[in-house]
Amino acid sequence: MSFSKLFMATLKRDMTIAFRHPSDLVNPLIFFLVVVSLFPLAISPDARYLAEIAPGVLWVASLLATLLSLDMLFQSDYQDGTLEQLLLSPQPLYTSVLAKVVSHWLLSGLPLALISPLLALMLFLPSSAMPTLMITLLLGTPIMSFIGAIGAALTIGLRKTGLLLSLIVLPLYIPILIFAASAVQNAAIGLPVLGHLALLGALLVLSVVLAPLAIAAALRISLGS
Amino acid sequence: MAKTLLQSVNLYCERDQRVLFENLDISVSAGEVLQVEGPNGSGKTTLLRILTGLSDAYEGDLLWQGQPLQKVRESYYQEMQYLGHSAGIKQALTAEENLQWYAVIQAGHLNAGSSSQQRAGNIADILAKVGLRGYEDVPCHTLSAGQQRRVNLARLYLSSATLWILDEPFTAIDKNGIATIETLIEEHVKSGGTVIITTHQDLKSVPNLRKITLGEVLPA
Amino acid sequence: MYFESLSDFIAMGGHAKYVWSSYLIALFIFILNLVLPVMARQRFFNNQSRRLRRETSARNVKIENEGHDASGS
Amino acid sequence: MWTWFYRLGSPKWFYGISGRWLPWFLCAAMVLLVTGSVWGLAFAPQDYQQGNSFRIIYIHVPTAFLAQSCYFIMAVCGAIGLIWKMKLSDMVAKSCAPIGASFTFLALVTGAIWGKPTWGTWWVWDARLTSMLVLLFLYLGVIALQSAISDRNQAAKASAVLSLVGLVNIPIIKYSVEWWNTLHQPASFSVVAKPTMPIEMWMPLLIMVIGLYCFFAALLVMRIRVEILEREWRTEWVKALIKKR
């Protein structure tokens, strides 16, 4: 059994399921939209002011949207017993976990990155910063999916997971938030951003390689009682 | 004498400061059926999950073909098929899609050499065997509980594992279905397979049946 | 002694409230750290001795009943 | 064979031997901490810039120092417990979390108090204070996860994984925070580097650090002993202990 066959089978399965529950797909996006539109209401509709806080707001909002979408990663598989079958498969768990996280990103992070310019317009982010915003989201949301999946795997089957999951995962998101938001800020005032993006890329590579190991271990632990 | 496949030595398990079982020595060999009995809450499911290697909330040793189970996990899973308490199927997917995914992730003990067309044919045949002809492409949430259970049981046809571990496979299944499964188990055992099963059902036609009962040893 | 007098020492050159509050909070947290495990230990022994007593009494009752049954039959 | 040894032999042995160590740790901690703080408070010269408020350093720096090494110990012991299934190691990891969190909290509070006379505000988003804050979040996450899982072994393993992930993240967090805020003082104390402070300022700090390590060891042993009792409740030796009381 080749790596790609196993990977694609799980990816296809998760995508099919998600497309049969379109609301699961759309909800994080709506959340993103609502949270972002709260800031002008709460602070000020002044364009200059909003442009200044836009990078931070967009990034915090996408971080929260990712966080809230994490429970769809393993929870339903846990409830219907397919997760334990995945663990009992003779195939490497690393691959199937990788496929699950990638499908989570395709369903949550990628759409967020794609609609972010629209919301950036609402916050008057300078158009020179748009490409950087999209690139940071494209690089940063998969890292958040990977790290978040560790937390999701650790909290499977516990009661009241939502708050616990945020407590566990949010501190780990801090470096991504710092690098990404300051990259967008730099882009807005015309400073170089390549260094930031390189760091984000390095973090992405690190999380692709290491996180599935932690996720697989966490899944075995969570189902092991 | 047949070779011992799975063996537990001095198994001990406690839950919430209550001893579920202790000094439990089980061994199953090829061509045997082990029926685990006991009242609700006596730890049948816990025992089965321990035997699959899912749960490690135990003390004692578990051996697969004489080797510690933790060390030979991969080869154990090539040879072991577990049907759990829960449905084990995705409601949003059709019966066929569910089995297709299982065909891939169980590939270690899938009947080897099957191309995807053959497998599709296989899956249709298998669904017909468990009485779901005509239900291949409806989402599982439209099926009844018993039919969903049958989709799960269809995985046994998909597998070439030697050891089956079945947790209450007869739940929600009608008389005909029970007879079908019993035949299936019988055939499996006759061809040298091994089954560990929890059920309250009497397995009349099954050869080489042994029983153990949990929950009789009260904590001292 | 670095300070001229005790009152100088307590005044800490005008920074008394910062210095002394830091040390007091530290003392409080140190004591809390000491007390918590001691209390947990106490609680464990209380709970377990209660459990042991409960179990021995239950066993005694059981033995009595069994004795009764044996004589009755 | 080894796992059997660790599983059955170790906790009882540790309980016995640690009972003998504990008073020594406590005494050493008491003597060193009292000496260090009296020296630091009354005999060390004041800082020519910060005046006497600098004396907070004798509590702030050792706790901050210990808070970080405690996380390291927690993660490493968690890993040992995860890989070699050493129960004692799990217990060390579990006991580290609340102690470390309380020290982190203390370091933050004393840092804030120190900040008031130095910077004029209670809180500054200074790089080191911010990484301490994130460290506190990491500790709280581990504690929250630990207390959410009722099964002891599972809780130990899950929090071990989490603290290892945190350990991998800590350098990244530190780097990112320092990068985010390049305006920070260089670390004022390190064991290996040559001290920039005069010796009469620096000695009490060293004594406080050693004293706090002893105190930490004592606290750890106390918590582990309770943990051992709770895990071994059904063994004869614990039952005998209970009956003796």
Tell me the HSE value of D118 on the side-chain side, using a 13 A CA sphere: 23
Q: Which two tokens stand for residue D243?
A: 């009956």
**pLDDT at residue B216, rounded to an integer:** 59
Q: Give the integer Cα–Cα distance in Å for D232 and A180.
A: 49
**Which residues, at least 6 apart from D41, have a Cβ–Cβ distance to it below 8 Å?**
C9, C19, C23, D55, D58
What number is the average pLDDT over the span D95-106?
Answer: 95
What number is the average pLDDT over the span B12-21?
Answer: 79
**pLDDT at residue C73, rounded to an integer:** 40
Q: Give the integer Cα–Cα distance in Å for D74 and D2.
A: 22
User: A-chain residues within 8 Å CB-CB of B92?
Assistant: 16-17, 20-21
Neighbours of A, requiring at least 3 CB pairs below 8 Å, are B, D
Query: Does C3 contact D56 at a Cβ distance shorter than 8 Å?
Result: no
Q: Are A150 and A211 in contact (CB under 8 A)?
A: yes
**pLDDT at residue D141, rounded to an integer:** 95
Q: Which of D149, D151, D165 faces A172 most closely, judged by CB atoms?
A: D165
Contact call for A and C: 3+ CB–CB distances under 8 Å? no
Say whether pLDDT at A135 is over 50: yes
Q: Give the integer Cα–Cα distance in Å for C20 and B102.
A: 67
Query: Does A178 contact D157 at a Cβ distance shorter than 8 Å?
Result: no
Instruction: Kindly indicate the confidence band of residue A215, based on its pLDDT and cuts at 50, 70 and 90.
Output: very high
Instruction: Kindly indicate the confidence band of residue D183, based on its pLDDT and cuts at 50, 70 and 90.
Output: very low
User: B-chain residues within 8 Å CB-CB of D7?
Assistant: 59
Query: Does B90 contact A82 at a Cβ distance shorter than 8 Å?
Result: yes
For chain B, domain boundaries:
4-213
Q: D223: distance to nearest CA of chain B, Å?
A: 20
The dihedral over CA atoms of B151, B157, B158, B161, expressed in degrees to the nearest 10, equals 120
What number is the average pLDDT over the span A13-32?
Answer: 90
**pLDDT at residue C43, rounded to an integer:** 92
Say whether pLDDT at D24 is over 60: yes
The dihedral over CA atoms of D121, D124, D128, D131, expressed in degrees to the nearest 10, equals 130
**pLDDT at residue B220, rounded to an integer:** 41
Q: Are A36 and A119 in contact (CB under 8 A)?
A: yes
Best of A5, A11, A88 to substitute, by most chain B Cβ atoms within 10 angstroms, is A88
- Report the candidate in B203, B93, B101 with the shortest Cα–Cα distance to residue B142: B93
B101-152 tens-digit pLDDT: 888 888 765 444 455 555 666 888 888 888 888 888 888 888 888 888 888 8
Alpha helix stretches (DSSP H) within A70-193: 75-79, 82-87, 93-107, 109-122, 130-154, 161-188
Q: A207: distance to nearest CA of chain B, Å?
A: 24
Say whether pLDDT at A223 is over 70: yes
Q: Which domain holds residue A74?
A: 3-222
Fold of B4-213: Rossmann fold (3.40.50)
Q: Give the integer Cα–Cα distance in Å for D105 and D86.
A: 29
- pTM of the model as a whole: 0.88
B22-62 tens-digit pLDDT: 888 888 888 888 998 888 878 888 889 999 988 888 888 88
For chain D, domain boundaries:
60-185+196-229
Q: Give the integer Cα–Cα distance in Å for D148 and A157.
A: 10
Cα Rg of chain D (Å, integer): 20
